[in-house]
Amino acid sequence: MRPLPIALLALAVALPTAALAASANVADLPAGHFKLDPKHASLIARVRHLGVSNYVVRFDKLAADFTYDPAHPEATKLTASVDTTSLDVGADYSRKFAEDFLKATQFPQATFVATSMTPAADGRTGTMTGDLTLMGVTKPETFNVTFVAARKGPPFGTLAGFSATTVIRRSDFGSSYVLAFVGDEVSLDIEGEFDRK
């Protein structure tokens, strides 16, 4: 991580603490169009290996944006995409696994388009259902979503953080490579920080 410029550090010290504080109250999330900051986001996948352990991988290239109206959170519009060639297994065979499991050259992008949002009574959690397209196959999937926090004001502008989780079956999308040894169910854990544009 690059060090913050001296001027930015000085500004942060000079600002009141309240100006730098984040709020976990969803009422403090303003309306607007938000875009994912890929440097502060992650997509982690877990799958059972040989039935005895959870094998963890990540994708390094993500994009997403959403439009939010606090008066109608259920009408939030979100789209997201993942570069399947960016699969990272922490070893030099990452690209091979992207081909074996995801046919990444043929299908270099996975996408998700939300079709409905259902906020829970607490306002901070809810579900997001939409169309997930992976390996050329589109299926409805539902994510559990949690609003982490929002902050607004200099020097970083207006930011919002969310977590999302779901479990999919890779065979539903045509991924059948070594199913006898690597599980069908894949849990997805997403962390995202968004900037209001």
Report the pLDDT value the prediction gives residue 7, as an integer from 0 to 100.
Answer: 53
* pTM across the whole model: 0.89
Report the pLDDT value the prediction gives residue 194, as an integer from 0 to 100.
Answer: 98
Tens of each residue's pLDDT in the chain, 197 residues: 455 556 555 545 545 555 568 999 999 999 999 999 999 999 999 999 999 999 999 999 999 999 999 999 999 999 999 999 999 999 999 999 999 999 999 999 999 999 999 999 999 999 999 999 999 999 999 999 999 999 998 899 999 999 999 999 999 999 999 999 999 999 999 999 999 99
For residue 154, what are the CA distances in angstroms to 11, 28, 188?
9, 16, 33
Determine contact, residues 186/169, Cβ cutoff 8 Å: yes
Report the pLDDT value the prediction gives residue 6, as an integer from 0 to 100.
Answer: 60
Q: How many Å separate Cα 186 from the centre of its chain? A: 15
Listed in sequence order, the residues at least 6 apart from 80 whose beta carbon sits closer than 8 Å to its beta carbon are: 36, 62, 63, 64, 111, 112
Report the pLDDT value the prediction gives residue 29, as an integer from 0 to 100.
Answer: 96
Sign of the Cα pseudo-torsion (148, 11, 33, 43, in order): negative
- Phi, psi dihedral angles at 40 (to 5 degrees): -130, 50
Q: Per residue in 11-25, pLDDT tens?
A: 455 455 555 689 999
Determine contact, residues 87/94, Cβ cutoff 8 Å: yes
Query: What dihedral angle (degrees, nearest 10) is formed by the CA atoms of 123, 129, 134, 138?
Result: -170
Report the pLDDT value the prediction gives residue 20, as an integer from 0 to 100.
Answer: 61
Ordered domains of the chain (ranges, CATH): 30-196 (2.40.128.110)
For residue 144 the two structure tokens come to: 């559990």
**How high does pLDDT run on average in the chain?**
93
Describe the chain by its helix, strand, coil percentages, rounded to 5.
Answer: 20, 55, 30
Query: What dihedral angle (degrees, nearest 10) is formed by the CA atoms of 61, 67, 70, 72?
Result: -120
Report the pLDDT value the prediction gives residue 54, as an integer from 0 to 100.
Answer: 98
Query: What dihedral angle (degrees, nearest 10) is formed by the CA atoms of 166, 72, 35, 196?
Result: -140
